[in-house]
Amino acid sequence: MRMEKRASERRDYAPAASRPHHLLLATGEAGIASQLKDWVENDPQFGLAVVRTGRQLLRRLAHETPDLILCDLALPGADGITVLRQLRPPAPPVVMLSAATQEAARAATEALRSGAADYVIKKGQGGESRLTITPAMLRRRLLRHLERPSALRDRRVCGEWLRLLPEGSRRRWQPSDSRAVFPAHAGWTGFVLASPAAIGALLRSLAEAPQRPGGAMLLQVPQPLCYSRALAEAATRHWNRLVLEYVEQETLRSGQWRILPGRTLLAPGSRAAGREARRDTGRGGWHRTINRISDPEAALRRQIALLGGATESVRLYLFDPPCDEAVAMLQSLVDRGHAVCAHAGCLATAAEPRMARAPVVERSDPRRWLSSRPTVGLEAGLRRVR
């Protein structure tokens, strides 16, 4: 009898990873519903339920909590943004399904700013829409959001920045305020590197940057061209500063904000090409390179490798936790005199173990991996956001 009781307790407390992740899809398009059902049937790690209107989704969420929501922006009854704004924390991550048009790109960018975790592009084929992403890539992106806290689950935004220290320092990352992160002296170029899933955090957090930092700022988010333009419009509107598309070998001046259009990267220009520009501003031109890599982590590694050849001062601002290979590349940049900063409120609530190169600790407490003795500034910041 006692052995049966212990066996039942073991079944009741089985790890969450042993059960499939429950996905709730809200779309009025039968083609997308059929496509996702076919994918999920071949993956035992996921289970899928489908609703066809925004009202049905809200009614279902009143008595059911899925692990992740896939919500079409063009839902009948109530559109995706209306549904998103009616969700109250704690809520599961929401991935929006968006068309590849300028109007849909603006709506998707606004949804990300309102707390959506990510977006997936759909395109019309033969009178019905289909998702353009591959099953393997969609699986990786969904698992990434299922493993990290949702912006709708916890809307706190920590205002602390973390700066990567040179090799041999007692700690790997040090808290810094916005004045140190965006210095007033001229002669540097800032690169904001983020994945499409980090757009919401980027729009919310960079509003605290000074109106005219000492260097020029470049935003690099690998996504389709219409979405890059929508991000530039949203940044101009919410940051109260002009954000334009970067032009090939453009001479960047202090305080200017530019966004790289589409899936492009920047490589340092040659000394001869930027000689006249350096006489005026200390910064030469940059060459755009087309990047066909759709994986954000691969694009991040490629951009960091390109920046390794820069002769001028470069400052990197990260909004996603890089992989171990990228961390080693970032450390090399710091050792050569460049600066690498990460926004603490965006990196999985600042408790990403591979960022800290520390043992896995509780994700909800960033103090545990920053240092055994947290600084007073970080303690005060944590008290403010609670």
- Residue that has been written with the tokens 């609703």 in this structure: 51
Superfamily of domain 21-147: Response regulator (3.40.50.2300)
Q: How many CA atoms lie within 13 A of 157 on its CB side?
A: 16
The pair of three-digit structure tokens given for residue 52, joined into one six-digit string: 């066809």
Confidence of residue 279 (pLDDT cuts 50, 70, 90): very low
CB of 289 closer than 8 Å to CB of 318: no
How is the chain split into domains, by residue range?
21-147, 161-385
Which CATH number does the domain 161-385 belong to among 3.40.50.180, 3.50.50.60, 3.40.50.1100, 3.30.2320.80? Answer: 3.40.50.180
Q: Is the predicted pLDDT of residue 327 greater than 80, yes or no? A: yes
Query: Per-residue confidence at 4, pLDDT binned at 50, 70, 90?
Result: very low
Tell me the pTM: 0.76
pLDDT of 276 higher than 80: no
Q: What is the pLDDT averaged over residues 189-204?
A: 87
278 vs 338, more confident: 338
pLDDT band at 226 (very low <50, low <70, confident <90, very high): very high
Average pLDDT, integer, range 323-342: 87
Work out the pLDDT band at 241, boundaries 50, 70, 90: confident
pLDDT bin (cut points 50, 70, 90) of residue 176 is: confident
Residue 198: its pLDDT value, please? 87
Contacts of 16 (CB under 8 A, 6+ apart): none
Segment 128-133 mean pLDDT:
87
pLDDT, tens digit, 9 for 90 and up, residues 75-93: 887 888 888 888 877 788 9
Q: What is the mean pLDDT of the chain?
A: 75
For range 365-385, the mean pLDDT = 36
Q: Residue 308 pLDDT > 60, yes or no?
A: yes
| Predicted pLDDT of residue 355 | 43
pLDDT at 37: 92
> Does this chain's domain 21-147 share its CATH topology with 161-385?
yes
Confirm if 277 and 284 have CB atoms less than 8 A apart.
yes
Quick check: 105 pLDDT over 70?
yes
pLDDT at 268 over 50: yes
pLDDT at 251 over 90: no
So what's the pLDDT on residue 127? Answer: 67
Q: Average pLDDT, stretch 345-354?
A: 46
Q: Give ∠ CA 229-234-240 in degrees, rounded to 5.
A: 125
